[in-house]
Structure 1
Amino acid sequence: MIAKTKDRRLPAITIARSEHARLSNLADMLAERDPHAAEQLAAELDRAKIVDDARMVPGVMRMGSVAEFQIDDEAPQSAELVFPKDADISRQRISVLTPVGAALLGLSAGQSIQWAARDGRVRRLSVIAVHAAEEARAS
């Protein structure tokens, strides 16, 4: 779950209107089967600035985008943010329903977010770069 303490302010995030609607439906459908994942996603959606798809600026982490990021002091890694049915960690495709996937949603390069892992440890994810899906496939 994303940390919600007074001394840790959550970064501003932006989500395209069409993705917000689809992700909200996903969270609603998942509420009974996996309440933790549904709550985590819903919390991110609730605090997001929603913009029309045509007004989304480049460099914001969207569904299908690829992020270069670092968790704590671990080596940087790259992953594409996908819907659960497309998740495949061996292909670096992270579901938006995972703690890392939900944390990445709506962030841009230079932003960081903290959350409490299931073991209670506070983790910090820092975004290094965001590439649009088409841009990532071309490189």
Structure 2
Amino acid sequence: MAESTFMLEVVTPERILYRDEIQFMVAPGIEGELGIMKNHAPLVAALNIGVLRYQTSTGVDKRMAISGGFMEVIDNGTRVLAETAEHGSEIDVLRAKAAKERAEKRLEVRSEEINHARAKMALQRAIARIRASEKPL
């Protein structure tokens, strides 16, 4: 293990999506982005729908879309328990864009038959998936 790295584990109900040493990460917290580096103070935080960004131990910038959950930082390790998560490289961008368009159309309709809270969450998930699929700057 390099001196400036710590363990990141991203877990969903279906699988362990990622488990490796990283240099830093930024997670979408409920109250804003949370930046984590080695020797961070212990922390438990709720996560929002968004993009989790991290830099591997070899300096490669990566992204994944997550749909909320929790993050625990303790003993130079971070565990993300996400409802869903996808590596940016695995995302079907056309499908994500179609989901975004569907959600936007639902939100335009003013009807009691449309669950607007659910449509807003679908829109947030689609946007997160699109952003996670983009190449890091």
Q: Which TM class, normalised by the smaller chain length?
A: under 0.3
Instruction: Name which structure has the greater RCO, CA cutoff 8 Å, separation 6+.
Output: 1
Give 1 or 2: higher helix fraction.
1
Q: Which has the larger radius of gyration?
A: 2
* TM-score (norm: length of structure 2): 0.28
* TM-score (norm: length of structure 1): 0.27
Give 1 or 2: higher strand fraction.
2
